[in-house]
A and B are shown apart, each in its own frame.
Chain A
Amino acid sequence: MIEVLRSLGRWGLDTFQRLGRGHIFLMQMLAGMPSLAFRFSLVVQQLFYVGVLSVLIILISGLFVGMVLGLQGYNTLVDFGAEESLGVLVSLSLVRELGPVVSALLFAGRAGSALTAEIGLMKSTEQLSGMEMMAVDPMRRIIAPRFLAGLISMPLLAAIFSAVGIFGAFLVGHGLLGVDDGAFWSQMQAKTDWYEDILNGVIKSIVFGFVVTWIALFEGYDATPTSEGVGRATTRTVVHSAFAILGLDFVLTALMFGDI
C-alpha cells in the first residue's frame, strides 16, 4: 500500500519536473526566435523537412476524408430531402474540426516524431554538446528554426487538407451522387463564415502547430541519450501530441463556437 502511494508520488513529482523543464525549454526556445531574423535560410531549410515532406500524406488523407464525408453526409441528408446542404455539412466539418485536428494528428505522426528522433539522436551522439562547446547555442541554431517551421507549416497544411477535402466531397457528391453543383457551392458559401469558421479553424491549427512542435522538440531534447531512450521519446511525442490536440480542440471549440 505504502509502495503504491510512493510510486504514485514519484510519478507525480516526475511529471511536475518534466512540465517545469518543458516550460523552461519553451522560454529558451522563444528567446532564440529573434536571432532567426538574420538567419532565415535555416527556417527555409526546416520548412522543407517539416512542411514539404508532410504534404503528400496531407493531400491523400484530405482527399479520402472528404470523399467519405461526402458519401456519409449524402446518405444521412437524403432522408430529410436536404442533400443540397451537403456542401455546408462538409465545409463546416472540415474547416472547423477535421482539417485542423486530423492534419495536426498526421503532422505529429509524420513531422513530430521525425523531429524528436533527430534531436534525440543529435543529443545522444553529443552533437548538441559539441555545438555548445563550439560556442554555437543549439537553442538558436537547431531548435528555434524547427519550431518556427512547425508553426508556419501547420496552418498551411490544415488549409490544404480542408481545401482538398472539400474538393473530394464535391467529386463524390456531384460527380457520383448527382447533387446539384450550384446548390452545393451556394449553400456552402451562404453558411460558411470567413471569420467565424475559417479564421477560427486557422487559429486552431496554429495552436496545434505550436503545441505539437513544442512537444516534439522538447521530447527530443529531454530524451535519455540512448537509442532506447530516443525510441521511447518518439512514442511519447505521438501520444502526448494526440492528447494535447484532442484536449485543446475541445477547449478551443467551446471558446469559439460554444456558449459555455
Chain B
Amino acid sequence: MAPLIKIRDLHFNRGDKVIFNGVDIDIYRGKVTAIMGPSGTGKTTLLKLIGGQLKPDRGSVEIDGQNVHKLSHSKLYELRKRMGMLFQSGALLTDINVFENVAFPLREHTKLPESMIHDLVLMKLQAVGLRNARNMMPAELSGGMARRVALARAVTLDPMMIMYDEPFTGQDPISMGTLVNLIRRLNDAMGLTSIIVSHDVAETTQIADEIYLLSGGKVVEKGTPETLKTSGSDWVKQFLQGLPDGPVPFHYPGNDFGKDLLNSEEKR
C-alpha cells in the first residue's frame, strides 16, 4: 500500500541553523505515526512543512500523490480542507465562544443551514466531552479543555488526516489519559491518519503504530514501539529511558569548565 504522506530528502534551514538535513518519512493510511525528538529538533517545523506553511530548501512532501509545495494557492487550500491540525496552544479564536470556534470551519466552507451546523457542532463537542461547555469563551477554558475543543474543531470537516503538535505537554494525568484515548478512538472510528509530534515517551509509545526518532536534522531510528525498545543504539536508549547523560551530553557544547574559570576576559 502506498503511503498517504511521502517525505523525501527534506532539507530546511532557519538562517544559518540546519533544521533538517535529508529526512525521509512515510506515513501510512489509518495508522497513528509518532515523530519524536528532543525540544528544538524541528518537530513543529516538520508539521508546518507538511501543511505547506513553510517551503523546504530541498526535497519534497507528497500528500495523496500531490507535491504540497508545487500546488497553487487555491489547490493548497483545497488540500488543507482535508487536513486537520491541532496546535500546541490550541490556537482557538479568542473573540468567539467554544460553539462558534467549532462551527467556524463549517461556516467558512459550507452553506449548511443553521440547524444542521448546530447539530454537527454538538456532535463533535459530545465526542470530546465538552458539549456543556459550548457557551464558554476560550479564556475560561483550562489547557486540557482548550486542546479538546481544538480537536473537535480539527475534525468538524471530517478530514482524511490530522496532525497533533505536542498534544500531551502540560496536561494533568487525567486529561492526559483522556487525550490519549481520544486520539486513538478518533483515529479508528473516523478512519483517520494521525501524526503525533511529541517528546512524551510513555504516552506516545502507548498509542503509536510506528515511531520516527529525529535528532540533529536526521531520522536516527524508526520502527514499532517494541522494536525501538530493543534498539541497540545508545542515543535511542537514552531518549526512551530519559537518562540524564549519554550521547546527548548534559552540558551544552562549548568550552571546557576549567578553561572558562581561567578565562580572565569575562571576569572584568
- Direct contact between A and B judged by beta carbons closer than 8 A: yes
Q: B108 to chain A: which residues have CB within 8 Å?
A: 134-136, 141
Q: Do residues B105 and A129 form an inter-chain contact, with CB atoms below 8 A? A: no
**B235 lies within 8 A of chain A by Cβ:** no
**A133 lies within 8 A of chain B by Cβ:** yes
Q: B78 to chain A: which residues have CB within 8 Å?
A: 135
**Contact for B91 among A121, A130, A136, CB less than 8 A:** A130
**Contact for A127 among B77, B80, B93, CB less than 8 A:** B93
Q: Do residues B105 and A136 form an inter-chain contact, with CB atoms below 8 A? A: yes
Question: CA separation between A130 and B44, bound complex, in Å?
Answer: 13
What are 9 inter-chain pairs, A to B, with CB distance below 8 A?
Answer: A125-B91, A126-B87, A126-B88, A130-B93, A132-B80, A133-B85, A135-B108, A136-B105, A136-B108
Q: Do residues A130 and B87 form an inter-chain contact, with CB atoms below 8 A? A: yes
Q: Do residues A135 and B80 form an inter-chain contact, with CB atoms below 8 A? A: yes
Q: B80 to chain A: which residues have CB within 8 Å?
A: 132-135
Q: Do residues A135 and B87 form an inter-chain contact, with CB atoms below 8 A? A: no
Q: Output the nearest chain B residue to A118 by Cβ-Cβ distance.
A: B95
**Contact for B89 among A125, A131, A133, A137, CB less than 8 A:** A125
Q: A121 to chain B: which residues have CB within 8 Å?
A: 94
Q: Do residues A129 and B87 form an inter-chain contact, with CB atoms below 8 A? A: yes
Question: CA separation between A131 and B96, bound complex, in Å?
Answer: 14
Q: Output the nearest chain B residue to A141 by Cβ-Cβ distance.
A: B108
Q: Output the nearest chain B residue to A28 by Cβ-Cβ distance.
A: B73
Q: B150 to chain A: which residues have CB within 8 Å?
A: 130
**Contact for B53 among A125, A127, A129, A141, CB less than 8 A:** A129
Q: Is the interface of B mostly helix, strand, loop or mixed?
A: mixed
**B37 lies within 8 A of chain A by Cβ:** no
Per-residue contact bits, chain B 87-110, to A (CB 8 Å; 1 contact, 0 not):
111011110000000001100110
- B: interface residue count bin: 20 to 34
Q: Output the nearest chain B residue to A125 by Cβ-Cβ distance.
A: B89
Q: Do residues B51 and A133 form an inter-chain contact, with CB atoms below 8 A? A: yes
The 9 closest A-B pairs by CB, nearest first: A130-B91, A135-B80, A126-B91, A133-B85, A135-B81, A135-B77, A126-B87, A136-B108, A134-B105
Which residues of A pack against B, CB within 8 Å?
121-122, 125-127, 129-137, 141
The interface centre, meaning the residue of B48, B53, B91, B109 with most chain A CB atoms within 10 A of its CB, is B91
**Contact for A133 among B83, B88, B92, B104, CB less than 8 A:** B83
Question: CA separation between A125 and B85, bound complex, in Å?
Answer: 15
Q: B84 to chain A: which residues have CB within 8 Å?
A: 133
The interface centre, meaning the residue of A129, A132, A134 with most chain B CB atoms within 10 A of its CB, is A134
Q: A132 to chain B: which residues have CB within 8 Å?
A: 51, 53, 80
Q: Nearest Cβ in chain A — how far from B254, in angstroms?
A: 25
Question: CA separation between A106 and B77, bound complex, in Å?
Answer: 38
Per-residue contact bits, chain B 174-214, to A (CB 8 Å; 1 contact, 0 not):
00000000000000000000000000000000000000000
**Contact for A130 among B77, B83, B85, CB less than 8 A:** B85
Question: CA separation between A136 and B103, bound complex, in Å?
Answer: 13
A135-B77, A137-B77 known, 9 other contacts, Cβ within 8 Å: A122-B94, A126-B88, A129-B48, A130-B85, A130-B87, A133-B87, A134-B104, A134-B153, A135-B81
Question: CA separation between A134 and B153, bound complex, in Å?
Answer: 9
**Contact for A129 among B91, B92, B93, B153, CB less than 8 A:** B91
Question: CA separation between A126 and B92, bound complex, in Å?
Answer: 8
Q: Do residues B94 and A127 form an inter-chain contact, with CB atoms below 8 A? A: yes
Question: CA separation between A136 and B93, bound complex, in Å?
Answer: 13
Q: Nearest Cβ in chain B — how far from A48, in angstroms?
A: 13
Q: Nearest Cβ in chain A — how far from B234, in angstroms?
A: 36
Q: B109 to chain A: which residues have CB within 8 Å?
A: 135-136
Question: CA separation between A119 and B97, bound complex, in Å?
Answer: 19
Q: Nearest Cβ in chain A — how far from B89, in angstroms?
A: 5
Per-residue contact bits, chain B 124-146, to A (CB 8 Å; 1 contact, 0 not):
00000000000000000000000
Question: CA separation between A122 and B89, bound complex, in Å?
Answer: 12
Question: CA separation between A121 and B105, bound complex, in Å?
Answer: 21
Question: CA separation between A122 and B138, bound complex, in Å?
Answer: 13
Q: Output the nearest chain B residue to A31 by Cβ-Cβ distance.
A: B73
Q: Output the nearest chain A residue to B156 by Cβ-Cβ distance.
A: A134
Q: Nearest Cβ in chain A — how far from B122, in angstroms?
A: 19
Q: Nearest Cβ in chain A — how far from B138, in angstroms?
A: 9
